[in-house]
Amino acid sequence: MGRRVGLEVSLACAEVVGLCNADVVAAYPITPQTHIVEHLSEMVADGHLDAEFVPVESEHSAMSCCVGSSAAGARTFTSTSSQGLALMHEILFIAASLRLPIVMAVANRSLSGPISIWNDHSDIMAERDIGWIQTFAENGQEVVDLTMHAFKVAEDKRVCLPVAVNLDGFILTHVIEPIELPDQEEVDAYLPSFEPSQSLDTANPISMGIVGMPEIYTEAKKANAVALEESYEVIKEHWAGLAEKFGRTYKPIETYRTDDADTVFVTMGSLGETTMSAVDQMRDDGIKVGQVRIRLWRPFPVEDFMEAIAGAKTLIVIDRALSPGLPAGPVGTELRGLLYAKGAKQYVANFVCGLGGRDVTRSQFVEMYQTATKAAASGEEMTCQMVGVKE
């Protein structure tokens, strides 16, 4: 049986990677993900994890190492954040196009400049289109569960794609939480040994990552996109298996008090728990609000999202990243496009908040609700607003 422990979320992430029996961990330390790979290095050095820990000279090299080790048939993990993820950018596409089941924890952090080590989602929003499966955790328990799930999905022969598990930097990575940590027997029962569909082998040589001439490039990219879309059912299937094994249920889109809600907040990541608290407060005041949380960011669960918001008249979409040059944040832009394509009539109010680690308070959720309600009543289009700007 697993055990309930009080543990820093970064250490819990490392512990579950160990329970998943990763063969190779390649990493370059960058705040706030450092504790994850630091603890993994200790586990390897102390003999608690039989793996190769590869300390590389940059995040570009970390992902390059992961591509090589995964191609050779090793269960592979890395972790990064912010500028480190940006430095990986070139190789992230290659991992997806080679269909390599790498798992990466992304400790979400703002991008420079100015230099900031604190949390927002600008790093991963800049990597929306890399072809990776992407999930968002809201607390430490979800980091543990989603990491196990990531290996399970990535290595499924119907998928064979890399997976990024997003956890908010500092807000999650450096917080000690009560966590149900499974034991080795339970994880082994959920996640069997990695059996790659194909791997580099000097005895039976194959070519991987060869040139895509114009005659084949488009088809290769389409195949990659189709693989990502078709991973959706497998993702749900393995969440169901996780629920059966560990008793915790996950869905691509999750809701809170939406049954009779006129207005719903749409959130991603750890901000969701503050949102639930704000929803409870407004419900106590007789305001019919609810919350929709995006758990699965890629592939985006279109029908699940449309079902979740079906009863709402107004959506308050919260972005934690800017999309300079557009009158909306990246999530707001995508959801507006989706609603337009579906012919949906919900009014969309888009706010950007919590940039660079700034706190978002319950009172600010009330202010966002009041602003959105007033704008929706007027019927006039509302441009994206930044919350709490000192002007």
Confidence check: pLDDT of 1 > 80 = no
More reliable by pLDDT, 391 or 18: 18
- Once rounded to an integer, what is the mean pLDDT over residues 213-220? 97
Average pLDDT over residues 51-80: 98
Structure tokens at 380: 């006039």
* Residue 177: strand, helix, or coil: strand
Question: According to the model, what pLDDT value does residue 196 have?
Answer: 94
* Cα 68 from Cα 86, distance rounded (Å): 19
Gyration radius of the chain's alpha carbons: 21
Strands 176-181 and 3-8, sheet pairing: antiparallel
Instruction: Give the total residue count for the chain.
Output: 391
Res 105: pLDDT: 98
CA distance 246 to 145: 9
119 near 108, Cβ under 8 Å? Answer: yes
pLDDT in tens, 158-176: 999 999 999 999 999 999 9
Q: What is the pLDDT of residues 278-300, one digit of tens each?
A: 999 999 999 999 999 999 999 99
Predicted model pTM: 0.97
* Least confident range of 278-282, 283-287, 317-321, 378-382: 378-382
C-alpha triplet 332, 337, 339: angle, nearest 5°? 95
In 3D space, the residue among 64, 56, 59 whose CA is nearest the CA of residue 79 turns out to be: 59
Q: Indicate if the pLDDT at residue 2 is higher than 90.
A: no
- Does the pLDDT at position 142 exceed 90? yes
Q: Is the pLDDT of residue 206 over 90?
A: yes
Q: Does residue 376 surpass a pLDDT of 80?
A: yes
Q: Tell whether the model's pLDDT for residue 391 goes beyond 90.
A: no
Measured CA to CA in angstroms, residue 234 lies from 175, 187, 329, 355 at distances of 31, 18, 30, 34
Contact 1, 159 (CB under 8 A): no
Residue 167: burial class (beta carbons within 10 Å; 0-12, 13-18, 19+):
buried
What SS3 state is found at 255?
strand
